[in-house]
Amino acid sequence: MNPDIRYSIVIPVYNEEAVIGQTYQRLKRVMDLTGEPYELIFVNDGSSDHTTEMIKRFREQDNAVKLISFSRNFGHQIAITAGMDYALGSAVVVIDADLQDPPELILDMIAKWKEGFDVVYAKRTKRKGETFFKKQTARLFYRILSASTDLDIPTDTGDFRLLDRRVCEELKRLPEKNRYVRGLVSWIGFRQTAVEYERDERLAGETKYPLKKMIKLSLDGITSFSFKPIKMATYVGSVIFASGLSYLAVLLLLKGFTESVISGWNLVMVMQLVLSGILLAMMGIIGEYIGRIYDEARDRPLYIVSECHGMMKKNRYVKKVV
């Protein structure tokens, strides 16, 4: 921790040229109100537009601005992780660059932190500008995750939160590759509380979490904190086995005590298709866990930094430090 920096604001960015200027101005205005030293850490997750050049221009006029650029796109959760790895403040705030999460709420988070809370997360009471499908799938995901694990992961929350320095230090001890940061923060514990807000619609640009990435994040969250999906294979197998025995008993009774003619090629085909589908689904669930085991066994770095601006070299993957 650097005693000269009180707050570190981590902003993961990916092709945000349409909004990054307003994001910087609002964050600067809010953080200046604290009257305490701060740093704005922009983590460039492999942007292909002019986002990087714009952030470099911000830095030319503001030493509080710092930039970490990845060698390629490693993903939102990894960008958050990198920002926290480099952060020097006593408190670290994670906020996206799209301004759906209001920077002004950071002041409320800081107030809660000064009351003694180690984690202050933003809880959405309303989601503006999002489709009915996205709202319902997000709601469903949080409920499934809550039912799948004994861990108390707050519902209707994202990665917008304030973390005390000691929470960040504990996060550094959790090196898993398929990361679900908000779940990891809940797993760590400490004193946590919420501040509520209405989430605005995206100011400009396109969402960086389309359906495919949302599904990936959901799988990371569920498989990282729950073994219930893999146990489901046993439960479903037991039910199918019991159903098969029951059906066999019914057929034997019909054959032995009635004149009924037992036929059922159609039924056999339907049962075969259903059972095959269930077995393949179970194999897919098991495969998800095996794939994550393989990821951990390879022990590759979480990210590779191509250049940094405004901070000390952090690891051997940094090629250029300015």
Separation CA 103–CA 10 (nearest Å): 12
As given in the structure block, the two tokens for residue 54 are 């714009």
Query: In which element (H, E) is residue 213 found?
Result: helix 211-225
Query: With contact defined as beta carbons under 8 Å apart, do 48 and 15 qualify?
Result: yes
Per-residue confidence (pLDDT) for residue 202, from 0 to 100: 53
Instruction: Name the nearest CA neighbour of 185 among 161, 149, 220, 209.
Output: 161
Separation CA 185–CA 151 (nearest Å): 11
Q: Residue 228: helix, strand or coil by DSSP?
A: helix
Q: What are phi and psi of 39, to 5 degrees?
A: -135, 145
Query: With contact defined as beta carbons under 8 Å apart, do 158 and 182 qualify?
Result: yes
Instruction: Name the nearest CA neighbour of 11 among 22, 25, 27.
Output: 27
Residue that has been written with the tokens 């807000």 in this structure: 197
As given in the structure block, the two tokens for residue 262 are 């037992």
Per-residue confidence (pLDDT) for residue 114, from 0 to 100: 92
Per-residue pLDDT of the chain (322 residues; tens, 9 = 90+): 555 889 999 999 988 888 889 999 999 999 999 889 999 999 998 888 888 889 988 988 888 899 998 888 888 888 988 888 888 899 999 998 888 888 999 999 999 999 989 999 888 877 665 566 666 666 666 666 666 666 677 777 778 889 999 988 888 888 777 777 777 888 888 888 888 887 766 555 555 555 565 666 656 656 565 556 666 666 666 676 666 667 667 666 766 666 665 556 556 655 666 676 677 677 777 776 777 676 667 777 878 888 888 776 554 344 444 4
Per-residue confidence (pLDDT) for residue 117, from 0 to 100: 92
